[in-house]
A and B are shown apart, each in its own frame.
Chain A
Amino acid sequence: MTALLELDAVEARYGPVQALHGITLQVAEREVVAVLGANGAGKTTTLRAISGTVRRSGRLEFAGKPLRGGPEAVARAGIAHVPEGRGTFTELTVHENLRLGAYTRRERSVRADVDRVAQWFPWIHERAGQQAGTLSGGEQQMLAVARALMARPRLLLLDEPSLGLAPMIVREIFRIVRELNEHDGLTVLVVEQDARIALRTAARAYVLEVGRVALEGSSKELQENESVRRSYLGY
């Protein structure tokens, strides 16, 4: 199975500081893959490298073609990035957030897409006119995912969806991710601090340390791995 997304020896830096020292990973179509690691290991930077938010070097390929350019180009290529901290447009309404999600699509009406997305998040229709900044943290996270879905992406990049959210809501979000993957065949690459729930949702995972891939394998393998258990799963 050829990979949908391929990274080979990808490096990235923030000014003089090098954050990624050569990341190699693949994500196949219809897979859910997790990226784990401690703070500062480079998980968020990896997603930023993919979406072009940070300058990167090395080989990145998406659907067989090299992935170049900034975030605008990457979005057009079919990758939706839900950044750390949700990235909702807090000053705009829920509906406007969704319309923006569909920005790269050429259809005149996004009505059908909003309905489709509302199937996963039923409260969207009621709150369409509400300012996004007044939503709760969990709702904003769901809005961010909904917005990403509006673009009908081939790959969804999720950055730390559990950040600042109550466990119940986190479970709900990951349940939706799993269902999106199973029902719609959505490919997902999720970065997560909460290794437990990530490994329960994803099929495979990579563990990053200091800007490099330290471990990789199926979720089952990693769950049984001694050091992973001690460092990230707490037992």
Chain B
Amino acid sequence: MSIDKDKIKHISKLARISIDSKKSDLLAKDLTSIFKFIEQLNELNTDKVEPLSSILNTPLRSREDKIDDGKIREKILKNSPKNNEEFFVVPKVIE
């Protein structure tokens, strides 16, 4: 499958990464060759194969319903690029 600039635009919007026009050309080329490579899988008939659901055979482990975390607001906010003492602060979404 050939990946063109429009597809790059669409995917990069989904991934929230802005790509300029020049980079977009290069990416389209790279991705096209990568997709050609991964499409080798079409050589295999997998109609009767179950997808791998997990490498491990064990069922999901659960934990007790205890409150043993949280109450670390300072720690949580300390690393953020912008915050006041109580909240994370981000630019508004323009509806």
Are A and B associated in one complex?
Answer: no
